[in-house]
């Protein structure tokens, strides 16, 4: 079964606003249409947070508008830039196939979406209730392979500034996954760059943002000129997976000088 991972669109309510010189709505549309052209047959899409940059209802309405007509349901998670109230207001009565289930099934795989947002903080945490729910979901379906999705990275990705903003209790997550060998992969957003690793037999993956990219291996905040994109994951019946990243064919988006903040065209 084919699953798509899009993350960190950082949309604005104001259609003129840009992030680091990037029109994040335009790049999201470009990524979505690329995904539809290449992977339109996918079973579902997961969007792992930072859906909005300004936390205003209109930014979520624009997300729903972008997703309308896409051939897959979109499962949404919050990120540290998201506001739950604005999200539900903005998404209400939108016709796009948007889902907020924390668990769904694709053949003999279950996909589990964990809320890792700590209110008022940029880094993340998994609450005791979330960890308990994960434990029970894995125990209830021992014959299903499992893919866990969340916003924050549970392991360092090699960028010290970003690794200061990771999940603060990744050890608790891996304590759960070690008890459940049916967990095959953990997938996250937040880092705006690709990561592909492994821990205790679990594949560890992150994906590019659909908008602004962060430079891998940076000690301090730095942008990357690589193009926006998404990850595809082919979840195979034997519990293995194939995966890859597609970037928009237009090439890299403009990268402003370091330190340049939010700008308007």
Give, rounded to a whole angstrom, the gap between the first and last alpha carbons of the chain: 41
* Min CB(190)–Fe ion separation in Å: 6
How crowded is residue 56: how many other Cβ atoms within 10 Å of its Cβ?
Answer: 18
Considering the complex, state which of residue 110 and residue 210 has its C-beta at the smaller distance from Fe ion.
Answer: 210
β-pairing, 241-247 vs 17-18, is unpaired
Is 50 an interacting residue with respect to Fe ion (CB under 5 A)? yes
* 242-261 footprint of Fe ion as x/- string (CB under 5 A): --------------------
- Of 3, 1, 12, the closest CA to residue 66 belongs to 12
| Helical spans, DSSP H, in the chain | 24-39, 57-67, 84-91, 128-140, 160-163, 170-179
* Min CB(84)–Fe ion separation in Å: 17
The SS3 of residue 211 is coil
Q: Are 242 and 42 contacting, i.e. CB atoms less than 8 angstroms apart?
A: no
Distance (Å, whole) CA 214 – CA 48: 16
Question: Count residues contacting Fe ion (CB under 5 A)?
Answer: 2
Considering the complex, state which of residue 55 and residue 135 has its C-beta at the smaller distance from Fe ion.
Answer: 55
Is 83 an interacting residue with respect to Fe ion (CB under 5 A)? no
* Min CB(170)–Fe ion separation in Å: 18
Copy the structure tokens of residue 117. Answer: 């947002």
Span near Fe ion by CB under 5 A; candidates 49-57, 93-101, 153-161, 238-246: 49-57
Distance (Å, whole) CA 90 – CA 87: 5
Span near Fe ion by CB under 5 A; candidates 47-55, 84-92, 123-131, 253-261: 47-55
Span near Fe ion by CB under 5 A; candidates 40-48, 50-58, 86-94, 101-109: 50-58
Distance (Å, whole) CA 61 – CA 92: 8
Span near Fe ion by CB under 5 A; candidates 8-16, 21-29, 91-99, 121-129: 8-16
* Min CB(74)–Fe ion separation in Å: 17
* Min CB(80)–Fe ion separation in Å: 7
The SS3 of residue 121 is coil
Considering the complex, state which of residue 77 and residue 134 has its C-beta at the smaller distance from Fe ion.
Answer: 77
Residue among 8, 54, 82, 115 that touches Fe ion (CB under 5 A):
8
* Min CB(128)–Fe ion separation in Å: 25
Q: Which residues bind Fe ion (CB under 5 A)?
A: 8, 50
């Amino acid at each position: 079964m084919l699953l798509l991972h899009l993350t960190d669109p950082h949309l604005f309510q104001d259609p003129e606003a840009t992030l680091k010189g990037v029109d994040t709505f335009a790049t999201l549309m470009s990524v979505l249409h690329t995904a539809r052209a290449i992977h339109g047959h996918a079973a579902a899409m997961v969007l792992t947070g930072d859906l909005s940059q300004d936390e205003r209802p209109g930014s979520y309405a624009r997300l729903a508008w972008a997703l309308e007509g896409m051939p897959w349901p979109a499962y949404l998670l919050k990120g540290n830039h998201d506001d739950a109230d604005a999200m539900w207001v903005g998404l209400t009565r939108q016709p796009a196939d948007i889902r907020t289930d924390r668990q769904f099934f694709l053949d003999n795989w279950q996909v589990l979406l964990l809320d890792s947002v700590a209110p008022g903080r940029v880094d993340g945490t998994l609450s005791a209730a979330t960890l308990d729910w994960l434990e029970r979901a894995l125990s209830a379906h021992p014959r299903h392979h499992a893919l866990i999705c969340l916003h924050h990275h549970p392991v360092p990705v090699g960028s010290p500034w970003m690794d200061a903003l990771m999940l603060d209790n990744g050890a608790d997550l891996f304590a759960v996954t070690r008890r459940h060998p049916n967990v095959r992969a953990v997938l996250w957003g937040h880092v705006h760059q690709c990561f592909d690793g492994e821990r205790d037999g679990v594949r560890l993956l992150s994906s590019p943002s659909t908008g602004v990219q962060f430079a891998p291996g940076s000690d301090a905040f730095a942008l990357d000129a690589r193009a926006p994109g998404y990850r595809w994951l082919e979840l195979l019946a034997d519990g293995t997976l194939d995966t890859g990243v597609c970037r928009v064919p237009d090439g890299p988006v403009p990268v402003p000088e370091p330190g340049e903040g939010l700008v308007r065209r």
